Amino acid sequence: MKKRVVQVCPVCKKTDIDLHLGGYLGIVYRCGSCGYVGSLVVEMDVEDYLAMLKHGEGQ
C-alpha cells in the first residue's frame, strides 16, 4: 500500500503549497498561507503530519 505524502511549508507548517516557478534551474514553491517562496518544502506522511499538529509542534 502506498503512503500518502503531503508537502508542508517549513515556515508556518501548513499544506497550502503551490508550484510558483519551475524549469531548468529547479522548482520554486509558494505557500498561500504565509507567503513563503523557496525551493525547500517538507514532504511527510499524512499520519506524521496529523500527529505533529495534534502535539502542537506546528505552531
The answer, yes or no, to whether residue 27 has pLDDT greater than 60, is yes
Is 28 exposed, middle or buried (CB count within 10 Å of its CB: 0-12, 13-18, 19+)? middle
- What are the cell numbers at 30? 509558494
pLDDT score, position 23? 78
Every domain of the chain and the residues it spans: 5-54
The enclosing H or E element of 47 equals helix 46-54
Percent pLDDT > 70 in the chain is 93
Instruction: At 34, list the grid cell.
Output: 504565509
pLDDT category of residue 1 using cuts at 50, 70 and 90: low
Residues 17-32, mean pLDDT to the nearest whole number: 90
Question: Confidence band (pLDDT; 50, 70, 90) for 35?
Answer: very high
